[in-house]
Amino acid sequence: MTNVTDQDRVLIFDTTLRDGEQSPGATMTHEEKLEIAELLDDMGVDIIEAGFPIASEGDFKAVSEIAQRSKNSRICGLARANFADIDRCWEAIKHAEKSRIHTFIGTSPLHRAIPNLTQDEMAEKIHETVSHARNLCENVQWSPMDATRTEWDYLCRVIEIAIKAGATTINIPDTVGYTAPLESADLIKRLIETVPGADEVVFATHCHNDLGMATANSLAAVIGGARQIECTINGLGERAGNTALEEVVMAMRTRNDIMPYHTGIDTTKIMHISRRVATVSGFNVQFNKAIVGKNAFAHESGIHQDGMLKNRDNFEIMRPEDVGLSGTSLPLGKHSGRAALRDKLETLGYEIGDNQLKDIFVRFKDLADRKKEVFDDDLIALMTLDDADDHLQLVSMKVTCGTGGQAESTVELEVDGQDTIATEYGDGPVDATFKAIRAIYPNKAHLQLYQVHAVTAGTDAQATVSVRLEEDGMIATGQSANTDTVVASAKAYIHALNRLIVRREKTGPGADAREISYKDLT
Ligand code: KIV
Ligand code: ZN
């Protein structure tokens, strides 16, 4: 819970579901947004920015359902500087136990030029819209977008207006990732010293990572006096992304000697939510990413291993357990039973009911028959294969490929209960297989992403495949894992198609496409 009287408490404002999800291709389904919101709520995030309610019917529904479900976090929605956006936002969040309207306008010369407003006209608009938001909701955040490229005098003037109009949080966005740590600290410090009323509001920092300095800039802003960091899981976000939640939280915790601040985050929940966000967004985490990368706690070089064995502190400034990585990781095998599987999944952050366990156990046994040792990452891959919206199901497939000729793939699919077979040729086995699937189930979905990762080491490793399809503005991501890469690819493609079919049925073509593109924001 937020303790606002504590001077060193830094509020964590997570915008994975808004700024993160607006990253092209990172679209999540309704159910995925609810799941991520629940994990954020559970890990102690103070404020969840759940979406941009006026952007689409889908955004509105997600924000309002998250608002109704949240247990601890304050639920925030985004609104541009007009009454229609603000009213729609309030409609979506008003049932939350704790809610916040976040309204913004671009204040830098470049952004003022887009609506073609003079400084005075924009100042008037800020006064009107923030007052309107405050009449609806007692908790209002205001952001001068592109603040770090806004003239100093004008920035002070508009912040003062927003505070007088009732804003309770002033967020300072570095929208294009332009600032640097010393400047970031100095800007917040001078604003707090200069703007009348600044001591009555919370100052927030919202950094983008275009120059790779988002984490440093956010921490510097806190040193300058900000007490809210806006961030996303895995640093998900447009272009080079946003400040990564896990980085700022672990930095303040690990270097508390020089950054004596604290948050309400349960850091042991970091790894699980990081994996879930990577899976549902289709944005894999780079291996050497700080805190949550696969190699972040791996000490493979001989010198490091020797040092680690002598004393962990030699090379480890954080303990893996602190971020939710289980310390020792003994693999399971084909003789492991249900209890061992459940126990292992629980240590990995999954809470599973008996029915789900039954289903996972069958898949685990199947994998253990093909693979001697089943590692944590194998199990995580098994867990990512979720919903069975089975309009299309893979019955069998046979692929011939190699040197000297085109690859050939014969695929048998059950389409709404009826078996159909097709054979196609292509530029490699995956191309031939996707063509065969399209021959059985013709569709105009455009393949936006095809990604393959080996889950563990070894030639018997499972491959996880992500496929992202786009049709009429609707996006669906599918995943699969298998020791056979081509089978995993076929299943991931079918998974994405199944999801697309379900979305099409629920909403009709184009219904979930954003009426307001996020591009309108920046
Ligand atoms: O980066 C940005 O300026 C934003 C605003 C909408 C706060 O995301
Ligand atoms: Zn942003």
Q: Is residue 167 very low, low, confident or very high in pLDDT (cuts 50, 70, 90)?
A: very high
* Residue whose CA is at the smallest distance from ligand 1 atom 2: 175
Nearest residue to 412 via CA among 393, 426, 429: 393
Q: State residue 137's pLDDT score.
A: 98
Residue 516 has pLDDT above 70, yes or no: no
Residue 521 has pLDDT above 80, yes or no: no
- Among 108, 169, 175, residue to substitute to test ligand 1 (most atoms within 8 Å of Cβ): 175
> Could you tell me whether strands 202-207 and 169-174 are parallel, antiparallel, or unpaired per DSSP bridges?
parallel
How far apart are the C-alpha atoms of 363 and 350, rounded to whole Å? Answer: 16
Residue 81, judged by CB atoms within 10 A of its CB (0-12, 13-18, 19+), counts as: buried
What are the Cα distances from residue 480, in Å, to 196, 431, 452? 56, 17, 10
Cα of 19 vs centre of ligand 2, distance in Å, is: 6
For residue 173, give the ligand 1 atom closest to its CA.
3
In this structure, the number of other CB atoms found within 10 A of the CB of residue 149 comes to: 18
Taking a 5 Å cut-off on Cβ, the residues next to ion ligand 2 are 19
Residue 2 has pLDDT above 50, yes or no: no
For ligand 1, is residue 19 a contact (CB within 6 Å)? yes
pLDDT tens digits, one per residue of 307-332? 666 677 767 799 999 999 876 567 89
Ligand lying closest to the C-alpha of residue 236: 2
For residue 242, give the ligand 1 atom closest to its CA.
1
Q: State residue 4's pLDDT score.
A: 47
Nearest residue to 45 via CA among 232, 173, 208, 211: 232
Q: What is the mean pLDDT of residues 132-160?
A: 98
For ligand 1, is residue 173 a contact (CB within 6 Å)? yes
pLDDT tens digits, one per residue of 237-288? 999 999 999 999 999 999 999 999 999 999 999 999 999 999 888 898 999 9
Q: What is the mean pLDDT of residues 3-15?
A: 85
Q: Is 242 annotated as a binding residue?
A: yes
Residue 105 has pLDDT above 90, yes or no: yes
CATH superfamily of 392-507: Alpha-isopropylmalate synthase LeuA, regulatory domain (3.30.160.270)
In this structure, the number of other CB atoms found within 10 A of the CB of residue 339 comes to: 9
Q: What is the mean pLDDT of residues 75-94?
A: 98
Cα of 53 vs centre of ligand 2, distance in Å, is: 16
Q: State residue 355's pLDDT score.
A: 87
Task: Return the higher-pLDDT residue of 93 and 504.
Answer: 93
Q: What is the mean pLDDT of residues 470-484?
A: 86
Where are the domains positioned within the chain? 11-281, 297-323, 330-374, 392-507
Q: Is 208 annotated as a binding residue?
A: yes
pTM of the model: 0.85
Cα of 156 vs centre of ligand 1, distance in Å, is: 18
Q: State residue 72's pLDDT score.
A: 98
How far apart are the C-alpha atoms of 83 and 155, rounded to whole Å? Answer: 22
Residue 241, judged by CB atoms within 10 A of its CB (0-12, 13-18, 19+), counts as: buried
How far apart are the C-alpha atoms of 162 and 232, rounded to whole Å? Answer: 26
For ligand 1, is residue 145 a contact (CB within 6 Å)? yes
Residue 141 has pLDDT above 70, yes or no: yes
Residue 132 has pLDDT above 50, yes or no: yes
How far apart are the C-alpha atoms of 142 and 499, rounded to whole Å? Answer: 37
CATH superfamily of 11-281: Aldolase class I (3.20.20.70)
Residue 389 has pLDDT above 80, yes or no: no
Q: State residue 299's pLDDT score.
A: 61
* Contact criterion met (CB below 8 Å) for 96 and 47: no
pLDDT tens digits, one per residue of 32-60? 999 999 999 999 999 999 999 999 999 99
For ligand 1, is residue 172 a contact (CB within 6 Å)? no
pLDDT tens digits, one per residue of 326-340? 765 678 988 889 988
For ligand 1, is residue 104 a contact (CB within 6 Å)? yes
Residue showing tokens 């020792």: 328
Q: State residue 90's pLDDT score.
A: 98
Q: State residue 143's pLDDT score.
A: 98
Show the tokens assigned to 368: 């253990």
How far apart are the C-alpha atoms of 460 and 334, rounded to whole Å? Answer: 15
Give me the DSSP letters along 220-258. HHHHHT--EEEEBGGG--STT-B-BHHHHHHHHHHTTTT
Q: What is the mean pLDDT of residues 459-482?
A: 86
How far apart are the C-alpha atoms of 506 and 418, rounded to whole Å? Answer: 23
Q: Which range is most confident: 143-147, 302-306, 358-362?
A: 143-147
Order of all β-strands in the sheet with 463-471: 446-454, 463-471, 474-482
For ligand 1, is residue 108 a contact (CB within 6 Å)? no
